[in-house]
């Protein structure tokens, strides 16, 4: 995420879909170490696959209402 944020806009950096929206990482890695790495990389939340539909809906709803 940090590397993406420093790219020029033409290369995918400085994405402004929602200025206050969080950055969630959805990964296949579910370990504590993986979650820590995701957070250290600049994401706000780590979601591991497979994910329960209700948990995904809750995460999206939290993004929308933040």
Of 45, 41, 43, 40, the residue nearest 58 (C-alpha): 45
| pLDDT value of residue 20 | 53
Query: How many Cα atoms are found within 13 Å in the side-chain-facing hemisphere of 57?
Result: 3
Q: What pLDDT digit, counting tens, does each position of 5-23 carry?
A: 667 767 666 655 445 567 8
What pTM was computed for the model?
0.63
**Which residue is it, tokens 């329960």?**
52
Q: What pLDDT digit, counting tens, does each position of 19-66 carry?
A: 556 788 899 988 999 999 988 888 888 999 999 999 999 998 888 876
């Amino acid at each position: 995420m940090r590397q993406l944020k420093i790219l020029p806009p033409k290369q995918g950096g400085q994405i402004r879909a929602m200025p206050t929206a969080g950055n969630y990482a959805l990964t296949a890695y579910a370990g504590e170490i993986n979650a820590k790495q995701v957070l250290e990389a600049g994401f706000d939340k780590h979601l591991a696959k497979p994910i329960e539909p209700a948990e995904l809906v809750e995460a999206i709803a939290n993004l929308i209402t933040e």
